[in-house]
Amino acid sequence: MNSVRRYFMARRSDHTREELKDLIVNTSWEIIDEKGFEGLTARNIAKEIGYAPGTIYNLFGSLDDLYLELNGRTLDLLYDVLSAPACADPKKTPIQNMKTMALHYMNFAQDHRPHWLMLFNLRVTQNRSDAQWYHEKVEKLFEPLSKLLEPFFDKARNKEKQLAARVLWSSVHGLCFLQETGKISVVSNDKAASKMADYLIDTFMAGIEK
């Protein structure tokens, strides 16, 4: 148990609502690191923070609401990776930067594997009004790739550009998912995954440039 959690538990009666929410989110994050998404239960969280499981539901309403908070943090981290200067190097071509971005995405999936996998274990419906902030974070993920695609589309084809960003992003994600889950032995190792992603980008962009 880290010093932050020990501090909060020692001053349990003095917690504000926001402090307690932060404690639950931070503790949940650590549980996912240690046990994976499957280990994130109300009982496990409550045991770590020294509160009854009902406290979690009082603050978040449901575990799904807590999962949203955690996934939101992961989305922020992923956006920072995809929007890093290395993924938009002015000395490189847009296609070279796309390949760098794909590699960074794959590295992120490896470095934050349990949190990355959790993103795809929670379905958030579009008509859930209280999750608009979450949908905005998801949409934001496509912005760095969309900017790299700008030289290939004029302004009149903006919708087509947005679609292209989603198709390419989803395709690279598919390769990454196969690599990380190992459910189908199509992607044998990290080097193969990167090579396949490069080929995918080259082929996809060749079709757009015609």
CA 209 to CA 164: how far, in whole Å? 12
Supply the pLDDT for residue 142. Answer: 97
Summarize the confidence of residues 143-158 as an average pLDDT. Answer: 95
Supply the pLDDT for residue 13. Answer: 54
Whether residues 197 and 156 share a domain: the answer is yes
Whether residues 38 and 75 share a domain: the answer is no
Whether residues 79 and 143 share a domain: the answer is yes
Summarize the confidence of residues 180-186 as an average pLDDT. Answer: 71
Whether residues 120 and 162 share a domain: the answer is yes
Whether residues 87 and 40 share a domain: the answer is no
**Could you tell me what percentage of the chain is helix, strand and coil, using 3-state DSSP and rounding each to the nearest 5?**
80, 0, 20
Q: Is residue 165 predicted with pLDDT exceeding 70?
A: yes
**Higher per-residue pLDDT: 189 or 168:** 168
Domains held by the chain: number = 2
Q: Cα–Cα distances in Å, from 151 out to 32, 146, 155?
A: 40, 10, 10
For 169-180, write each residue's pLDDT tens digit. 999 999 998 888
Whether residues 103 and 134 share a domain: the answer is yes
Whether residues 51 and 92 share a domain: the answer is no
Which domain CATH number covers 26? 1.10.10
For 4-24, write each residue's pLDDT tens digit. 454 444 445 567 889 999 999
Segments forming the whole domain that contains residue 53 = 3-61
Whether residues 24 and 85 share a domain: the answer is no
Q: Is residue 88 predicted with pLDDT exceeding 80?
A: yes
- Quickly count: other Cβ atoms within 10 Å of residue 193's Cβ: 23
Instruction: Compute the residue count for the chain.
Output: 210
pLDDT over 90, % of the chain: 70
For 194-205, write each residue's pLDDT tens digit. 899 999 999 999
Whether residues 47 and 78 share a domain: the answer is no
Whether residues 88 and 48 share a domain: the answer is no
